[in-house]
Amino acid sequence: MKNIIMLIAVLMSVVFMQWNAEAIETEDKGAVKSIVLPVIEVDLKEGAGKDKADEFCNICHSADYITMQPRFPTDAWSAIVHKMIVVYGAPVNEDDSRTIINYLSSNYGTGK
Ligand code: HEC
């Protein structure tokens, strides 16, 4: 008698474990989760070189990183642009970087 009760208990726990595992699997199936990131639209000031800043300076972050800065002298903008290239890997060549630095200095800096 004891053995039969034990057998039934074991069988029931196996059945329950199986049922539980299926329930967990079904929960995960087809559960596609997505998030929507906010798009921060920033219109940079019109000026020579804006096209290059638009092209390269909002690949990794929004262009408000530019507009939020204090008015830096050219040297400081140059250091920032080179940091983007050297440290973070911004794909900007030397010619374009000069254009962008002049644009930033004239429109978001002291101009000298
Ligand atoms: C390859 C990715 C990448 C590109 C392209 C890029 N940046 Fe950045 N930028 C970063 C990262 C990473 C940070 C640091 C983010 C942080 O600290 O929150 C940053 C930060 C900044 C900051 C904040 C101040 C600082 O020094 O950290 C400014 C200003 C900035 N970027 C300007 C620019 C400009 C101008 C361009 C266009 C030439 C540019 N970024 C292109 C990755 C990039």
Q: How confident is the model at residue 24 (pLDDT cuts 50, 70, 90)?
A: low
- Mean pLDDT of all residues belonging to the chain: 90
Cα 72 to ligand 1 centre (Å): 15
Nearest to 50 by CA among 100, 109, 2, 101: 100
65 within some domain: yes
Write the CATH number for 93: 1.10.760.10
Nearest CA owner, ligand 1 atom 18: 61
Owner of token pair 């642009």: 81
Nearest CA owner, ligand 1 atom 34: 57
What does the pLDDT read at residue 23? 63
Nearest to 83 by CA among 64, 100, 108: 100
Question: What total number of domains does the chain contain?
Answer: 1
95 within some domain: yes
pTM: 0.77
24 within some domain: no
Residue of 45, 56, 60, 71 to test ligand 1 pocket, by largest number of atoms within 8 Å of CB:
60
Q: Is 69 helix (H, G, I), strand (E, B) or coil?
A: coil
53 backbone φψ class: left, alpha, beta (φ>0; ψ -120 to 50): alpha
